[in-house]
Amino acid sequence: MQEMLKITGIRKSFSTLDVLKGVDLTVHKGEVVSLIGPSGSGKTTLLRCANFLDQAEDGTMVLDGQTYHLGHVRRTEMYEARRHTAFVFQNYNLFLNKTALQNVTEGLIVARKMPRDEAEARAQKALEKVGLGNRGASYPNQLSGGQQQRVAIARSLVNQPRVLLLDEPLGALDLKLRKEMQLELKRLQREMNITFVYVTHDQEEALTMSDTVVVMNKGNIQQIGSPQDIYNEPRNAFVAKFIGDSNIVDGIMEKDFLVSFGGQEFACVDRGFKPREPVQVVIRPEDVDIVPPSAGKLTGLVREVIFKGVHFE
Ligand code: ADP
Ligand code: MG
C-alpha cells in the first residue's frame, strides 16, 4: 500500500512541557487511522503540527511523496502542504455571519481565487454529499450541531484534500447522532477515497471507524495495530486498560499457551515467554463464564448486577 503521510521523529513542547516526544506515524493511502489516548496525551498537537497550525521543533513529514522539515518549514511549503490536507475541528469553526454555502465557498474564492459561480457549484455538490443540499442559505445558528459539523465537513471536502485531519469531529454530538455520523463519515471516506487521520477519545469510535488504531499516552505512542490487535493483544497494561474493560492480575506463564493464576491453569493465546515467567494477565469481562461452584475453577462473590440493555454487568 502506498504511503500517504509519514511523520518521523516529531517533537513539540510548550515551554517546559514535552508534548510530543519523538513520535513516528505512517498512514497509507485510503486508510482511516485513529489516534486515541487520554486527554492531554498530545493527539491534537500532533494533528495541528501536521497541518502547521502549531510548529514542531523537530521532525519530518512526507506527504504524498513531498518531504517537509517540520522544524523549519517555508511559508510556500506550508501553503503547498495545506492544499493537500484539510482540518476538521471539534467546534466546527464556521463563520457565524455567513450562510452554509458561503462557509463552503469562502476558501475556494479567497484562497484558491476560483470564480464565484464555479465555487458555488462545487460547494453545492459538497453540501449535497453531506445531505444538506437544500440548506445552503441557512446560517449556522439555524442549523443543529450535527448539521453544522456537516457544513464543516463539506467545507473540508470541497478542496479535494488527499488527507483529512479530524480532531474529535463528533465529540460535541449526542451518542445516537454520533453513531449515525460515524457511519456517514465512513461512507464519505470510502466514496471519495480520502485518507483520514481521526482523533477521538472514544474507544468504541476508534474501533468502529479505523483500519489502524494508534494509542497514545503522554506524548508517546503505546501501540499501533488493527482494532482487533489492539483489543485482543494489548502490548502493555496501559493499552489493556484504556481500550475496553479489563481485569489485570499477576500470573505465571507455565509454557506456551498456558498461564496460571489463583492456583489454577488456564489456556491462553500467548507464547514465546520463558518457562514460569511472571506476567500480567489481561482478562476481558466477556471471557469470564459464571458457572455453578462445582463446575468453576475460581470462586467469587457477585456484589452488584447492573442491567445494560444488551447484557448485565
Ligand atoms: P489531547 O488532544 O490529546 O487532549 P493536546 O495535544 O491538546 O492533547 O495537549 C497536550 C498537552 O499540551 C496538554 O498538556 C496541553 O495542556 C498542552 N498544550 C496544548 N496546547 C498548548 C498551548 N497552546 N500552550 C500550552 N500548552 C498547550
Ligand atoms: Mg485534543
Q: Could you identify the residue written with the cell 522544524?
A: 71
Pocket of ligand 1 (CB under 6 A): 14, 17, 19, 37, 39-45
In the chain, where does DSSP find H-type helix? Answer: 43-50, 75-84, 100-110, 116-129, 145-157, 175-192, 203-209, 227-232, 237-242
User: Tens-digit pLDDT profile for the chain (313 aa)?
Assistant: 899 999 999 999 999 999 999 999 999 999 999 999 999 999 999 999 999 999 999 999 999 999 999 998 899 999 889 989 999 999 899 999 999 999 999 999 998 899 999 999 999 999 999 999 999 999 999 999 999 999 999 999 998 899 999 999 999 899 999 999 999 999 999 999 999 999 998 999 999 999 999 999 999 999 999 999 999 889 999 999 999 888 999 999 999 999 999 999 999 988 999 999 999 999 988 889 999 989 999 998 999 999 999 988 8
Nearest CA residue ID for atom 11, ligand 1: 40
Smallest-distance ligand from the CA of 216: 1
CA angle 83, 88, 93 (to 5 degrees): 105
* Separation of CA 131 and ligand 2 centre (Å): 27
* pTM score above 0.75: yes
* Separation of CA 229 and ligand 2 centre (Å): 24
Q: Among 10, 19, 166, which residue has the most ligand 1 atoms within 8 Å of its CB, making it the best to mutate?
A: 19
The closest alpha carbon to 238, from 214, 253, 208, 217, belongs to: 217
* Separation of CA 80 and ligand 1 centre (Å): 26
Smallest-distance ligand from the CA of 41: 1
Give the C-alpha distances (Å, rounded to integers) separating 124 from 10, 151, 156: 38, 11, 13
Q: Among 13, 17, 222, which residue has the most ligand 1 atoms within 8 Å of its CB, making it the best to mutate?
A: 17
* Separation of CA 272 and ligand 1 centre (Å): 39
* Separation of CA 36 and ligand 2 centre (Å): 10
* Separation of CA 113 and ligand 2 centre (Å): 32
CA angle 287, 291, 295 (to 5 degrees): 110
Atom of ligand 1 nearest to the CA of 35: 3
Atom of ligand 1 nearest to the CA of 219: 10
